[in-house]
Structure 1
Amino acid sequence: MNRRSTRRDFLRQTAVAGAAGPLLAGQTVAQAQDKPESPNERVQFACIGVGGKGDSDTRDAGAYGDIVALCDIDEKKLDLMAEKFPKAKKYTDYRTMLEEIGDKIDAVTVSTPDHSHAPASVRAMRLGKHTFCQKPLTWSVEEARLMRTLAAEKNLVTQMGNQGTSHDGFRSGVELIRSGVLGPIREIHVWTNRPIWPQGVSRPTDTPGIPDSVHWYEFLGPAHDRPYNPKYHPFKWRGWLDFGTGALGDMACHTINVAALSLSLFDPESVEVVDTSGIVDNESYPVWSIIKTNFGEREGRAPLSLTWYDGGNKLPEEKRAYKQLLEGQKVGGSGLLLVGEKGSFYSVNDYGAEHVLLPKDKFADVKVPEPTLPRTKNHFGEWVEGIKENNPKKPMSNFDYAGRLTETVLLGVVALRVGGKIEWDPAAMQVKNNSAADQYLRRDYRKGFSIHV
């Protein structure tokens, strides 16, 4: 039996032994039993990307197990995290890291810019490593499909970092929508205050020197060569087509999540750009956009449309159709509205956890459905529990679900890049009405960073 199988079996036996007591956030199985935990019982992590959201993901890993290795393309961020985990070996290239210490780890966290999610995750998954990857799961539709397939083939425990999925309010919202209290849902509206970074701008022409701490080649990863510029790194990468997925990629895996899980919003029939300020120079995403995704019948559910609005206060006021539907309600910079034949479900935050049924007087006495979904105390902890139980279905935002959700989201990006309407064939994974659109379903990888074997 190989080392990976042995560790999986050992971790699963540990979880079974500790099943009598629930995990608290930041608490391991053995700690919940009030006994010392041997090193072999603890999940061994490697963390790829330790700044930004990677900071909290890495801290979570350190709370639930042992961190064997840290990787970041910025040595300043890497050194700061290494101060907290001095036993971890430091790397600036995840490829080298996985080659050198792959046999010493059970799982990886991937908290890089969007364009490196799949190249890093796929490399780890092919080594049999359980994977936690930030949202959106991938940069392209092809990558989302591959990661979903690979997780199933390797029987890996996976989780996407859309942490709202684990909130009690989110899961009770799913149960409420599924109860049918609203009748058939015909339309959904989702809006966001993103982008809060530069978009709709031209490629910079100045070429300042690369900071000593930044490994620019490793940042570029699968993207083709371009000079370093602080308008790309740090943080501002989200608005650039080569690196990010724009406002859609940043927020839709959060904001449409409760609707997607409730109503199986996968494999749409078509996606169309209703209006937009436009992609600039084939380089950066629009300042604002309105995109409509059309779904046919799904598992007996009625056809519906989902309209997405991004741009925040830069989105023209007269184009915000959701405001007319919410007359009399306080409407913030982001939210979600499901419109059914009998009433509406209004979420006032990005995660679906806080919601109200409208009109309020009609639903004042509505009964809360009996729980049908499990509850958890921590999104990261749910993933670690799954690892210890060797249960790929334990995390609710596992890559089977997260991959399908991400495909739905990224088809909006494809429509933006086409600049019109696309008709989708999910089985063939191709656009039916525009062969030129297929190039936007995948990317041309720079040598050394491809997801293809």
Structure 2
Amino acid sequence: MLTRRDMIRTAAATAGGVAASSLFTAHAFGLATPAPKARPAFRGKLGKLQILQVGVGGSIAPADRSELKAHPDVVFSGLCDVDSDALASVSQEHPEAFTCRDFREAFDKHADKFDAVVVCTPDHNHALVDLWALRANKHVYGQKPLVQQLSEVVAIEKAIAARPKLVTQTGNQRMGAEGRQYAVDILKKGLLGKALEAHVWIGGPGEGTDGYFWYGGLKDPIQPPANIDWPLWLGAAQDAPCRPGLISLQWRSSWDYGTGQLGDWCTHLLDILYFSYDLPSPMSVQAHTLNPSDFYHARGVMSTLTYDVSKQPNRAMFAKDRFVVHYGDQSQAPSRAELGLPPGKFWGSATLIVCEHGVIAVEPGGAIELFIEGKPVDFKTLPGVGKITARNHWHSWVDNILGQTTKSDGFVQTPFHYSVRIAEAGLLCAKAARFPQTELLWDKSKLAFTNHDEATKTIVTREYRKGFELPTVIA
């Protein structure tokens, strides 16, 4: 007799055979395609979805755990972290959960104890753990940016194609803000006319000696703290010494472990463009900076992405065959006067889209400025704007796994199908700063910059440490 637990395993194990985006139903965003009519009623032990969290400390993992455990049908059955102190502390909240420091042990010894995985490691191990989870037929909530190497974009895309019935979600909770959802609705419906160009900027948050990002001199090596398993922290990265501030926050600035500000924030800023226009892989990128570095990502970068939309099914949404996106990390906002807008000041971070008949600017938290023919307009009064229904970003993922799609209309906010492409754009903008003032022609199908062999060798992939190579996910 099949138990509810067996139903979860069986449904996951039969993953295969349909397009990766087919899990998700349509929504006001217009992001997604119809889901299969019948999704198995997934239930785990004690009628709950059992989750393994890989990476339990830091600044993001506690928030993800708090939101997910608030769902009545969720239990954290496994906890994994290279930090023994963090692991011991969090395990007190979940005394029945198994614990381990090596995520590979969780899959090798405890795979029957969890149905889904939440990945909250530093960026350089995101794709590695995500792929282990997908290979094991586990649903995945992966923190942003989904990948740290351009080659990992293709690896993730192949994996989700091989596991189409698994429900994936990305840590893009800001997209739950009402204003950001309205912005996508307005743009996708073409209420401002055809798109001309986009300007995106981040205001350089968290910089400094004790901040998220460090761009000073290379700090002298130190012994790793006793509570950190340093080889496991390195994971996919090559052997290297520990340095002050690196483990807690400043790995984000490092070429080896992070993605810089452009990569870190791309999911919260470029997402609107992908949800609205379903952009293809960029054809080129050019980064301008005066501060290239071999160890840290550059600070003070303005990158330009160019997309060939001439053969896109939605070509009519664009004014030209090329769509250009400018993305900077120091609040490099365009001139309001040059855009024909009234005096004022944009936010420190925002996404701005220029269309034939208007301009819309959206702040990460969801605030909107909308202008029609240069005059400010209340976006909710714009003819044709839909009604937006707020949904819990984390709970929608759980509801879809459990088959409780009536709670969310089958909607998953940022499945890997979208977030991996958003990450690709962010990585291109950040990594191109290694070759400043140079247009790099990108061909994702070849994983190469077709006009620059050195860039292809330097910024497309990495050499993975033995034992931490990316697994192949086969249908």
* TM class by smaller structure: 0.7 to 0.9
Q: What CA deviation, in whole Å up to 9, does each residue of 1:222-243 have, x standing for no partner? A: 1111111223111111000000
Corresponding position: 1:286 with 2:298: yes
Shift of 1:311: 3.0
Shift of 1:140: 1.1
Partner SS, residue 118 of structure 2: strand
Instruction: State whether structure 2 residue 284 is matched by structure 1 residue 266.
Output: no
- Counterparts of 1:115 and 1:393 in 2: how far apart (Å)? 31
How far apart, in 2, do the equivalents of 1:369 and 1:339 lie? Answer: 18
CA–CA separation in structure 2 for the residues paired with 1:322 and 1:134: 34
Distance (whole Å) between structure 1 residues aligned to residue 399 and residue 100 of structure 2 = 27
User: What displacement does 1:4 show?
Assistant: 7.5
1:213-292 aligned within 5 A? 213-273=227-287, 275-280=288-293, 282-292=294-304
* CA shift for structure 1 position 138: 0.7
For 2:356, the equivalent position in structure 1 comes to 341
Structure-2 residue corresponding to 1:203: 218
Seen in structure 2, the aligned counterparts of structure 1 residues 290 and 323 have a Cα distance that, compared at 3 Å, is: farther
Is 1:212 the counterpart of 2:226? The answer is yes
Q: Per-residue displacement from partner, 1:141-187 (whole Å, max 9, x unpaired)?
A: 22122123212311211001011223333222111112222222111
Greater Cα offset, 402-411 or 43-52: 402-411
**Corresponding residue for residue 32 of structure 1:** none
Distance 2:191 2:411 in 1: 28
> What amino acid sits opposite 2:295 in the alignment?
E
Amino acid at match of 1:283: F
Matched, 1:309 2:316: no
Q: Distance in 2 between matches of 1:43 and 1:443?
A: 35
> Which runs of 5 or more structure 2 residues have no equivalent in the other structure?
13-42, 207-211
Determine if the alignment matches structure 1 residue 170 to structure 2 residue 180.
yes
CA deviations 1:422-448 (Å, max 9, x no partner) are 112233332221122223221110111
Contact 1:255–1:350 under 8 Å retained in 2: yes
Structure-2 residue corresponding to 1:49: 55
What value does the CA root-mean-square deviation take over the aligned residues?
Answer: 2.6
Instruction: Tell whether 2:200 aligns with 1:190.
Output: yes
Further displaced range: 162-171 or 2-11? 2-11
Deviation of 1:102 after TM superposition, in Å, equals 1.0
C-alpha distance after superposition, 1:71-90 (max 9, x if no partner): 11112221221121111122
1:171 and 1:161 map into 2 onto residues whose CA distance is 16
Q: Per the alignment, do residues 235 and 322 of structure 1 end up closer, same or farther by CA in structure 2, a change over 3 Å counting?
A: farther
Separation in 2, partners of 1:182, 1:375: 22
Q: TM-score, normalised by structure 1?
A: 0.85
Equivalent-residue separation in structure 1 for 2:251 and 2:61 (angstroms): 15
User: Given that residues 124 and 131 in structure 1 are in contact (C-alpha distance below 8 angstroms), is that contact kept between their aligned partners in structure 2?
Assistant: yes
Which residue of structure 2 lines up, in the alignment, with residue 395 of structure 1? 412
AA matched with 2:230: W
Equivalent position SS for 2:182: helix
Separation (CA, whole Å) in 1 of partners of 2:76 and 2:202 = 35
TM-score by length of 2: 0.81
Distance 1:338 1:69, change over 3 A: same
Please tell me the residue identity of whatever aligns with 2:85.
Answer: K
Amino acid at match of 1:265: L
Amino acid at match of 1:429: L
Q: CA deviation at 1:404?
A: 1.5
Q: Percent identity?
A: 28
CA contact (8 A) 1:195 1:310 kept: no
Higher percent of residues as helix: 1
Q: Secondary structure at the match of 1:293?
A: strand
Aligned residue identity for 1:226: A
**d(CA) in 2 for partners of 1:427 and 1:209?**
42
Task: Give how far 1:329 is off.
Answer: 2.4
Mapped to 2, the partners of 1:4 and 1:125 lie a distance apart of 18
Range moving further from structure 2, 336-345 or 296-305:
296-305
**Which letter does structure 2 place at the counterpart of 1:56?**
A
Separation of aligned partners in 1, 2:263 and 2:410: 24
Mapped pair 1:132 → 2:160 = no
Contact 1:199–1:286 (Cα < 8 Å) also in 2: no
Counterpart CA distance in 1 for 2:392 and 2:49 is 16
CA deviation profile, 1:175-211 (whole Å, cap 9, x unmatched): 111222222211111111225234433432x333221
Which position in structure 2 is the counterpart of 1:152?
A: 161
| 8 Å contact from structure 1 (residues 293, 306) kept in 2 | yes
Q: Which residue of 2 aligns with 1:431?
A: 449
